[in-house]
Amino acid sequence: MQFLAKDNDIKVIECNLRASRSMPFVSKVLRINFVEMATRIMLGEAVEPPNKSFFDLDHIGIKASQFSFTRLSKADPILGVEMASTGEVGCIGNNFHETVLKAMLSVGYTIPRKNIFLSTGPIASKADLHKSCRLLAEKGYQLYATPGSARFLEKNGVPCRTLYWPDEDRQPNSLEYLRNRKIDLVINIPKDLSAEELDNDYAIRRHAIDFNIPLIINARLAEAFITAFCHRTPENIAAKHWMEY
């Protein structure tokens, strides 16, 4: 059962018998029916262990999560220990870049046209995203970033423009750009739990959701998505039946 609780008002939003969605997806990628195999084992039948590995495949499977933060007004669109995903889309492709792009587009993300806004969090994620940001600049994207992220990018040879934090009375301000939909993709990596960081990051994330701007809050996912759409376009994605892989 899944509950939604606010001010001691409890609502049941889902009540069902759960079955793993990962099991059939892995079965389809590997072309091995694990559900049938598990059932036969429970019945005491002799079952040969599968001897296929991912290294034997000429395709790749990726499952992307889908979120419904727009349905919860004022909720912080950030992932915690609770189950925030309302579903997934499993995709199979010929290579990593194609499959990442296929999965992300399937759950509602769009390829940015021009302007990307970055708040890259702690120094570790700044370093992780440096190569991806350089790739974006080489592809002609205009990068905007919060002050600390902008300084890091400029210092490391990536051209960038500064957008100031929501609580700063300075222009250009990040919220103004989001409200006017001047941004095509927001990458906001949480930094720490200080009140200032929490308030500013929340305002940026919430504005992205409220103004229907794609938002990514995980550095590894951001790197994968950026690399994918910089190397592939939707026109390059192969539309194939599962049985063709």
Residue 50 lies in a domain: no
Cβ(97)–Cβ(230) below 8 Å: no
Residue 177 lies in a domain: yes
Banded pLDDT at 139 (limits 50, 70, 90): very high
Pairing type for strands 215-216 and 185-188 reads parallel
Residue 3 lies in a domain: no
Residue 125 lies in a domain: yes
Residue 58 lies in a domain: no
CATH code, domain with 190: 3.40.50.1380
Kindly tell me if the per-residue pLDDT of 151 is higher than 60: yes
Structurally, how many domains does the chain consist of?
Answer: 1
Q: Which range of residues forms the domain containing residue 186?
A: 110-236
| Separation between Cα atoms, residue 150 and residue 159, nearest integer Å | 8
Residue 101 lies in a domain: no
Q: Is the pTM of this model over 0.85?
A: no
Residue 132 lies in a domain: yes
pLDDT digits (tens, 9 = 90+) for 156-198: 999 999 999 999 999 999 999 999 999 999 999 987 766 677 7
pLDDT value at residue 81: 46
Helices 219-231 & 123-138, crossing angle to 10 degrees?
10
The size of the chain, in residues, is 245
Residue 73 lies in a domain: no
pLDDT digits (tens, 9 = 90+) for 99-135: 999 999 999 999 999 999 999 999 999 999 999 999 9
